[in-house]
Structure 1
Protein backbone atom coordinates (compact mmCIF):
# COMPACT_ATOMS: atom_id res chain seq x y z
CA UNK A 1 0.00 0.00 0.00
CA UNK A 2 1.37 3.39 -0.94
CA UNK A 3 1.70 6.33 1.41
CA UNK A 4 -1.14 8.82 1.49
CA UNK A 5 -0.49 11.90 -0.60
CA UNK A 6 -1.95 15.36 -0.82
CA UNK A 7 -2.67 16.40 -4.40
CA UNK A 8 -3.33 19.96 -5.58
CA UNK A 9 -5.49 20.01 -8.68
CA UNK A 10 -5.20 23.41 -10.36
CA UNK A 11 -7.89 24.08 -12.94
CA UNK A 12 -10.78 21.72 -12.27
CA UNK A 13 -13.02 22.69 -15.16
CA UNK A 14 -12.15 19.83 -17.54
CA UNK A 15 -13.55 16.29 -17.39
CA UNK A 16 -10.18 14.56 -16.92
CA UNK A 17 -9.36 16.74 -13.89
CA UNK A 18 -12.73 15.92 -12.35
CA UNK A 19 -12.30 12.17 -12.99
CA UNK A 20 -8.84 12.20 -11.42
CA UNK A 21 -10.04 14.24 -8.43
CA UNK A 22 -12.87 11.75 -7.81
CA UNK A 23 -10.54 8.76 -7.76
CA UNK A 24 -7.80 10.35 -5.66
CA UNK A 25 -10.21 11.85 -3.09
CA UNK A 26 -11.53 8.40 -2.21
CA UNK A 27 -8.32 7.62 -0.28
CA UNK A 28 -6.07 10.71 -0.38
CA UNK A 29 -6.41 14.45 0.20
CA UNK A 30 -7.27 16.58 -2.84
CA UNK A 31 -7.01 20.35 -2.80
CA UNK A 32 -8.98 21.82 -5.71
CA UNK A 33 -8.44 25.28 -7.17
CA UNK A 34 -9.76 27.08 -10.22
CA UNK A 35 -9.34 30.74 -11.19
CA UNK A 36 -13.10 30.85 -11.84
CA UNK A 37 -14.73 30.78 -8.38
CA UNK A 38 -18.11 29.73 -9.79
CA UNK A 39 -16.59 26.74 -11.61
CA UNK A 40 -14.63 25.82 -8.49
CA UNK A 41 -17.74 25.89 -6.29
CA UNK A 42 -19.78 23.90 -8.82
CA UNK A 43 -17.14 21.16 -9.26
CA UNK A 44 -16.42 20.97 -5.52
CA UNK A 45 -20.14 20.59 -4.76
CA UNK A 46 -20.52 17.97 -7.50
CA UNK A 47 -17.60 15.93 -6.17
CA UNK A 48 -18.92 16.02 -2.59
CA UNK A 49 -22.44 15.16 -3.74
CA UNK A 50 -21.10 12.06 -5.51
CA UNK A 51 -18.88 11.09 -2.59
CA UNK A 52 -19.70 12.80 0.72
CA UNK A 53 -16.74 11.04 2.38
CA UNK A 54 -14.23 12.39 -0.15
CA UNK A 55 -11.09 13.91 1.33
CA UNK A 56 -11.56 17.14 -0.58
CA UNK A 57 -10.87 20.78 0.18
CA UNK A 58 -11.76 23.80 -1.93
CA UNK A 59 -8.87 26.26 -2.03
CA UNK A 60 -9.17 29.93 -2.90
CA UNK A 61 -5.42 30.36 -3.35
CA UNK A 62 -3.18 28.30 -5.67
CA UNK A 63 -0.13 29.09 -3.54
CA UNK A 64 -1.67 27.53 -0.42
CA UNK A 65 -2.92 24.52 -2.37
CA UNK A 66 0.50 23.92 -3.91
CA UNK A 67 2.35 24.54 -0.65
CA UNK A 68 0.43 21.77 1.10
CA UNK A 69 0.60 19.29 -1.81
CA UNK A 70 2.97 16.44 -2.59
CA UNK A 71 1.80 16.39 -6.21
CA UNK A 72 0.59 19.35 -8.28
CA UNK A 73 -1.65 18.63 -11.27
CA UNK A 74 -2.35 21.30 -13.88
CA UNK A 75 -5.21 21.11 -16.37
CA UNK A 76 -4.33 22.43 -19.85
CA UNK A 77 -6.24 25.63 -19.10
CA UNK A 78 -4.31 26.21 -15.88
CA UNK A 79 -0.95 25.70 -17.64
CA UNK A 80 -1.72 28.66 -19.87
CA UNK A 81 -2.38 30.94 -16.88
CA UNK A 82 0.98 32.68 -16.37
CA UNK A 83 -0.29 34.45 -13.25
CA UNK A 84 -1.20 31.13 -11.66
CA UNK A 85 2.17 29.59 -12.53
CA UNK A 86 4.01 32.61 -11.10
CA UNK A 87 2.11 32.29 -7.81
CA UNK A 88 3.32 28.74 -7.14
CA UNK A 89 6.94 28.87 -8.35
CA UNK A 90 8.34 29.40 -4.86
CA UNK A 91 6.31 26.61 -3.23
CA UNK A 92 6.66 23.86 -5.85
CA UNK A 93 10.31 23.00 -5.15
CA UNK A 94 10.90 19.26 -4.92
CA UNK A 95 7.37 18.31 -5.93
CA UNK A 96 6.02 16.23 -8.78
CA UNK A 97 4.15 18.37 -11.32
CA UNK A 98 1.81 16.76 -13.84
CA UNK A 99 0.44 18.65 -16.84
CA UNK A 100 -2.82 17.07 -18.05
CA UNK A 101 -3.85 17.01 -21.67
CA UNK A 102 -4.92 14.75 -24.49
CA UNK A 103 -3.37 13.54 -27.75
CA UNK A 104 -4.74 16.59 -29.59
CA UNK A 105 -2.74 18.90 -27.31
CA UNK A 106 0.56 16.98 -27.42
CA UNK A 107 2.52 19.77 -29.15
CA UNK A 108 1.35 22.28 -26.58
CA UNK A 109 2.13 19.81 -23.80
CA UNK A 110 5.68 19.22 -25.04
CA UNK A 111 6.33 22.95 -25.04
CA UNK A 112 4.64 23.39 -21.66
CA UNK A 113 6.62 20.52 -20.17
CA UNK A 114 9.93 22.01 -21.31
CA UNK A 115 8.90 25.47 -20.15
CA UNK A 116 7.74 24.14 -16.81
CA UNK A 117 10.94 22.18 -16.25
CA UNK A 118 12.82 25.44 -16.84
CA UNK A 119 10.53 27.33 -14.44
CA UNK A 120 10.61 24.54 -11.84
CA UNK A 121 14.20 23.24 -12.06
CA UNK A 122 13.99 21.44 -8.71
CA UNK A 123 10.68 19.72 -9.43
CA UNK A 124 9.84 16.63 -11.48
CA UNK A 125 7.69 17.82 -14.39
CA UNK A 126 5.68 15.20 -16.28
CA UNK A 127 2.94 15.11 -18.91
CA UNK A 128 -0.29 13.21 -18.47
CA UNK A 129 -2.02 12.38 -21.74
CA UNK A 130 -5.34 10.58 -22.05
CA UNK A 131 -5.02 7.54 -24.29
CA UNK A 132 -6.86 7.71 -27.62
CA UNK A 133 -7.04 3.95 -28.25
CA UNK A 134 -9.76 1.66 -26.91
CA UNK A 135 -8.35 2.14 -23.38
CA UNK A 136 -9.61 5.72 -23.10
CA UNK A 137 -9.47 5.46 -19.32
CA UNK A 138 -5.68 5.05 -19.38
CA UNK A 139 -3.42 7.97 -18.57
CA UNK A 140 -0.07 7.97 -20.35
CA UNK A 141 2.55 9.66 -18.18
CA UNK A 142 5.67 10.98 -19.89
CA UNK A 143 8.74 12.46 -18.24
CA UNK A 144 12.51 12.47 -17.93
CA UNK A 145 12.85 10.93 -14.47
CA UNK A 146 12.21 7.17 -14.15
CA UNK A 147 11.83 7.33 -10.37
CA UNK A 148 9.24 10.13 -10.55
CA UNK A 149 7.35 8.34 -13.34
CA UNK A 150 7.28 5.12 -11.35
CA UNK A 151 6.20 6.89 -8.16
CA UNK A 152 3.36 8.74 -9.89
CA UNK A 153 2.22 5.68 -11.86
CA UNK A 154 2.22 3.58 -8.68
CA UNK A 155 0.22 6.25 -6.87
CA UNK A 156 -2.37 6.55 -9.66
CA UNK A 157 -2.67 2.77 -9.90
CA UNK A 158 -3.20 2.55 -6.12
CA UNK A 159 -6.24 4.84 -6.40
CA UNK A 160 -7.73 2.83 -9.28
CA UNK A 161 -6.52 4.69 -12.36
CA UNK A 162 -4.85 2.91 -15.27
CA UNK A 163 -1.45 4.26 -16.29
CA UNK A 164 1.26 3.72 -18.84
CA UNK A 165 4.64 5.44 -18.46
CA UNK A 166 6.95 6.66 -21.21
CA UNK A 167 10.41 8.14 -21.17
CA UNK A 168 11.21 10.81 -23.78
CA UNK A 169 11.80 9.62 -27.35
CA UNK A 170 9.83 6.43 -26.84
CA UNK A 171 6.58 5.41 -28.45
CA UNK A 172 5.44 2.69 -26.08
Structure 2
Protein backbone atom coordinates (compact mmCIF):
# COMPACT_ATOMS: atom_id res chain seq x y z
CA UNK A 1 0.00 0.00 0.00
CA UNK A 2 2.99 2.31 0.21
CA UNK A 3 2.98 3.27 -3.48
CA UNK A 4 -0.40 4.88 -4.03
CA UNK A 5 -0.77 5.69 -7.72
CA UNK A 6 -4.43 5.26 -8.55
CA UNK A 7 -7.44 6.26 -6.47
CA UNK A 8 -11.08 5.56 -7.22
CA UNK A 9 -13.71 7.90 -5.83
CA UNK A 10 -17.14 6.31 -5.65
CA UNK A 11 -19.91 8.88 -5.49
CA UNK A 12 -19.99 12.64 -5.38
CA UNK A 13 -22.64 13.35 -2.77
CA UNK A 14 -20.43 15.74 -0.82
CA UNK A 15 -17.93 18.50 -1.51
CA UNK A 16 -15.08 16.56 0.13
CA UNK A 17 -15.09 13.95 -2.64
CA UNK A 18 -14.72 16.67 -5.28
CA UNK A 19 -11.95 18.39 -3.30
CA UNK A 20 -10.06 15.11 -3.01
CA UNK A 21 -10.49 14.38 -6.73
CA UNK A 22 -9.03 17.83 -7.56
CA UNK A 23 -6.05 17.43 -5.25
CA UNK A 24 -5.24 13.82 -6.10
CA UNK A 25 -5.55 14.29 -9.88
CA UNK A 26 -2.73 16.83 -9.90
CA UNK A 27 -0.16 14.07 -9.37
CA UNK A 28 -1.99 10.72 -9.45
CA UNK A 29 -4.60 8.92 -11.49
CA UNK A 30 -8.19 9.33 -10.30
CA UNK A 31 -10.98 7.07 -11.45
CA UNK A 32 -14.42 8.60 -11.02
CA UNK A 33 -17.67 6.69 -10.56
CA UNK A 34 -21.16 7.80 -9.63
CA UNK A 35 -24.38 5.83 -10.07
CA UNK A 36 -25.91 8.96 -11.63
CA UNK A 37 -24.24 9.39 -15.02
CA UNK A 38 -25.25 13.08 -15.20
CA UNK A 39 -23.49 13.81 -11.90
CA UNK A 40 -20.44 11.88 -13.09
CA UNK A 41 -20.20 13.85 -16.34
CA UNK A 42 -20.76 17.16 -14.53
CA UNK A 43 -18.01 16.48 -11.96
CA UNK A 44 -15.62 15.21 -14.64
CA UNK A 45 -16.19 18.32 -16.80
CA UNK A 46 -15.83 20.64 -13.81
CA UNK A 47 -12.56 19.04 -12.75
CA UNK A 48 -11.09 19.15 -16.26
CA UNK A 49 -12.19 22.75 -16.70
CA UNK A 50 -10.32 23.72 -13.53
CA UNK A 51 -7.28 21.59 -14.38
CA UNK A 52 -7.03 20.42 -18.01
CA UNK A 53 -3.95 18.34 -17.14
CA UNK A 54 -5.74 16.43 -14.40
CA UNK A 55 -5.27 12.68 -14.57
CA UNK A 56 -8.97 11.70 -14.54
CA UNK A 57 -11.02 8.92 -16.04
CA UNK A 58 -14.78 8.43 -15.88
CA UNK A 59 -15.69 4.84 -15.14
CA UNK A 60 -19.04 3.26 -15.87
CA UNK A 61 -18.34 0.16 -13.76
CA UNK A 62 -17.45 0.43 -10.06
CA UNK A 63 -15.94 -3.06 -10.08
CA UNK A 64 -13.44 -2.23 -12.84
CA UNK A 65 -12.63 1.11 -11.24
CA UNK A 66 -12.01 -0.48 -7.85
CA UNK A 67 -9.98 -3.30 -9.39
CA UNK A 68 -7.57 -0.79 -10.94
CA UNK A 69 -7.24 1.42 -7.84
CA UNK A 70 -4.81 1.28 -4.94
CA UNK A 71 -7.21 3.23 -2.69
CA UNK A 72 -11.02 3.17 -2.73
CA UNK A 73 -12.79 6.28 -1.45
CA UNK A 74 -16.52 6.18 -0.75
CA UNK A 75 -18.61 9.33 -0.45
CA UNK A 76 -20.87 9.05 2.56
CA UNK A 77 -23.94 8.29 0.43
CA UNK A 78 -22.14 5.73 -1.75
CA UNK A 79 -21.07 3.65 1.23
CA UNK A 80 -24.75 3.24 2.13
CA UNK A 81 -25.44 1.72 -1.31
CA UNK A 82 -25.47 -2.02 -0.58
CA UNK A 83 -25.44 -2.94 -4.29
CA UNK A 84 -22.36 -0.80 -4.91
CA UNK A 85 -20.52 -2.25 -1.92
CA UNK A 86 -21.38 -5.79 -3.02
CA UNK A 87 -20.11 -5.12 -6.57
CA UNK A 88 -16.63 -4.14 -5.42
CA UNK A 89 -16.30 -6.45 -2.45
CA UNK A 90 -14.23 -9.09 -4.24
CA UNK A 91 -11.77 -6.65 -5.83
CA UNK A 92 -11.00 -4.62 -2.70
CA UNK A 93 -8.70 -7.22 -1.14
CA UNK A 94 -5.56 -5.66 0.34
CA UNK A 95 -6.63 -2.11 -0.48
CA UNK A 96 -7.30 0.91 1.67
CA UNK A 97 -11.01 1.73 1.83
CA UNK A 98 -11.75 5.26 3.04
CA UNK A 99 -15.22 6.43 3.99
CA UNK A 100 -15.76 10.18 3.75
CA UNK A 101 -17.50 11.39 6.87
CA UNK A 102 -20.19 13.99 7.00
CA UNK A 103 -21.07 15.63 10.33
CA UNK A 104 -24.75 15.72 9.39
CA UNK A 105 -24.80 12.01 8.52
CA UNK A 106 -26.18 9.33 10.76
CA UNK A 107 -23.36 6.96 9.79
CA UNK A 108 -21.03 6.81 12.78
CA UNK A 109 -17.41 5.77 12.64
CA UNK A 110 -17.86 2.64 14.70
CA UNK A 111 -20.87 1.42 12.72
CA UNK A 112 -19.47 2.26 9.27
CA UNK A 113 -16.01 0.86 9.85
CA UNK A 114 -17.25 -2.27 11.64
CA UNK A 115 -19.83 -2.95 8.92
CA UNK A 116 -17.37 -2.36 6.10
CA UNK A 117 -14.57 -4.28 7.79
CA UNK A 118 -16.96 -7.22 7.95
CA UNK A 119 -17.74 -6.85 4.22
CA UNK A 120 -14.09 -6.20 3.32
CA UNK A 121 -12.23 -8.51 5.72
CA UNK A 122 -8.96 -8.30 3.80
CA UNK A 123 -8.99 -4.52 3.32
CA UNK A 124 -7.88 -1.66 5.53
CA UNK A 125 -11.06 0.28 6.32
CA UNK A 126 -10.73 3.86 7.57
CA UNK A 127 -13.02 6.85 7.94
CA UNK A 128 -12.36 10.52 7.38
CA UNK A 129 -14.13 12.37 10.18
CA UNK A 130 -15.46 15.83 9.48
CA UNK A 131 -15.48 18.09 12.49
CA UNK A 132 -17.35 21.36 12.79
CA UNK A 133 -14.94 24.28 12.61
CA UNK A 134 -12.23 22.45 10.63
CA UNK A 135 -11.01 23.89 7.37
CA UNK A 136 -12.00 22.14 4.15
CA UNK A 137 -8.36 21.25 3.42
CA UNK A 138 -7.91 19.33 6.68
CA UNK A 139 -8.56 15.60 6.96
CA UNK A 140 -8.94 13.72 10.22
CA UNK A 141 -8.67 9.98 9.57
CA UNK A 142 -9.44 7.18 11.99
CA UNK A 143 -9.04 3.45 11.53
CA UNK A 144 -7.75 0.27 13.09
CA UNK A 145 -4.57 -0.24 11.04
CA UNK A 146 -1.75 2.09 12.09
CA UNK A 147 0.37 1.43 8.99
CA UNK A 148 -2.54 2.08 6.62
CA UNK A 149 -3.44 5.28 8.49
CA UNK A 150 0.14 6.53 8.30
CA UNK A 151 0.46 5.69 4.59
CA UNK A 152 -2.81 7.41 3.70
CA UNK A 153 -1.98 10.45 5.87
CA UNK A 154 1.41 10.78 4.16
CA UNK A 155 -0.23 10.50 0.75
CA UNK A 156 -2.78 13.22 1.54
CA UNK A 157 -0.10 15.46 3.06
CA UNK A 158 2.04 15.04 -0.06
CA UNK A 159 -0.82 16.30 -2.26
CA UNK A 160 -1.28 19.42 -0.14
CA UNK A 161 -3.85 18.55 2.49
CA UNK A 162 -3.42 18.89 6.23
CA UNK A 163 -3.91 15.43 7.67
CA UNK A 164 -4.25 14.16 11.21
CA UNK A 165 -4.78 10.57 12.22
CA UNK A 166 -6.42 9.00 15.21
CA UNK A 167 -4.63 5.80 16.06
CA UNK A 168 -6.57 2.71 17.11
CA UNK A 169 -8.09 2.82 20.60
CA UNK A 170 -8.08 6.63 20.77
CA UNK A 171 -11.18 8.75 21.07
CA UNK A 172 -9.92 12.32 21.38
CA UNK A 173 -10.78 14.47 18.36
Q: Same fold (TM over 0.5)?
A: yes
**Residue range with higher mean Cα deviation, 7-16 or 64-73:** 7-16
Shift of 1:79: 0.6
Partner of 2:70: 70
Please show how residues 23-172 of structure 1 align to structure 2 within 5 Å.
23-105=23-105, 107-167=107-167, 168-172=169-173
TM-score (norm 1): 0.94
| Contact 1:11–1:75 (CA under 8 A) maintained in structure 2 | yes
Total equivalences in the alignment: 171
Task: String of CA shifts for 1:58-104, please: whole Å, max 9, x gaps.
Answer: 00000000000000000011011000000000100000000001233
Q: Show structure 1 runs of 5+ residues with no match.
A: none
Give secondary structure in 1 for the equivalent of 2:108.
helix
Shift of 1:105: 3.0
Shift of 1:136: 4.1
Separation in structure 1 between the aligned mates of residue 148 and residue 134 of structure 2, nearest angstrom: 26
Separation in structure 2 between the aligned mates of residue 106 and residue 129 of structure 1, nearest angstrom: 12
Shift of 1:131: 3.2
Task: String of CA shifts for 1:124-146, please: whole Å, max 9, x gaps.
Answer: 00001223234343110000111
CA RMSD of aligned residues (A): 1.5
**Residue range with higher mean Cα deviation, 10-19 or 133-142:** 133-142
Shift of 1:106: 6.5
Q: Show structure 2 runs of 5+ residues with no match.
A: none
